[in-house]
Amino acid sequence: MLYRAFGISGYHCVRTEYLEDMVVFRIEQKRDTPRCPVCGSAWVTAHCCEDRWFRLVPVGRKLVRLFFRIPRGECGQCHVTCQVHVPFAEPLCAAE
C-alpha cells in the first residue's frame, strides 16, 4: 500500500494505527547494506537511531503520518555521521 498510495518503496509497514482523525504508518527499511549518503561508501558503522515523522497527503478527511526510526552511522571513508539514505527525506548530517 505504501508504494501504490504514496510511491514509497524499499520499506515495509510494521504497524498501522487508526486514530480519531489520523492514520499513522510505522515503517522499517528492508535490510540492505547501508551506504553513506555523502560519499556512497559501504563502510558505515551504526551508532543509534533517530525518530522522524513525515506528513503524507491526506486520505479522505484523515491526516496521514509516517513514523520511521532512521538508523544513524559514521562513515569510515569520509568520517561524516549521517542517517542512512532515505529517498523521500532530506539527510540530517553533521561533519566531524
Cα distance between residue 51 and residue 71, in whole Å: 9
CA end-to-end distance (rounded Å), the chain? 39
Distance CA 16, CA 43 (A): 33
Task: Return the half-sphere exposure (C-beta side, CA atoms, 13 A cut-off) of residue 74.
Answer: 5
Residues 39-86 have pLDDT tens digits of: 888 888 877 888 989 999 999 999 999 999 888 888 899 998 887 777
pTM over 0.75: no
